[in-house]
Amino acid sequence: MGRKKQLPKPTLAESKAAIVFGGAFTLLCLGGVYAVYHVSSLRSVRPDLNQIPVYFKRVQDATPFPQTLDPAQFQTANIREAYSVAKEIPGVLAQQPCYCYCQRMGHRSLLD
């Protein structure tokens, strides 16, 4: 059997560097786990799909109506027709809930 080779002992500076690196790495990992958990918990907040979103019960409450986009700017016939109808009956659309639950984006009814 041969002699085991002795490894040199680390210096004090090398030990401190290893401890600092290990601590920083641990904090970084913990911060990453916290961030992933925190973001995923925010995304898990889903609207109650059984609840009717906001809308106007009276046409007067929705006035002045937002300006409808010009239907001529759309190339798809179905979209062009939808915007034409929206221009004709804004009061009706203002009284229809928008079921994409996007009221955080400023949608107050299907007209928006």
Q: pLDDT in tens for each of the 112 residues of the chain?
A: 567 777 778 787 777 877 878 777 887 777 777 776 666 555 545 566 677 777 888 888 888 888 888 999 999 999 999 999 989 998 898 888 887 777 667 778 888 7
Confidence at residue 37, expressed as pLDDT on a 0 to 100 scale: 67
The whole-number pLDDT of residue 44 equals 47
CA distances for 59 relative to 34, 52, 63, 109, angstroms: 47, 18, 7, 11
Res 15: pLDDT? 77
Per-residue pLDDT at 73: 93
pLDDT of residue 46: 59
The region that residue 13 occupies, defined by phi over 0 for left and psi between -120 and 50 for alpha, beta otherwise, is: alpha
What SS3 state is found at 19? helix
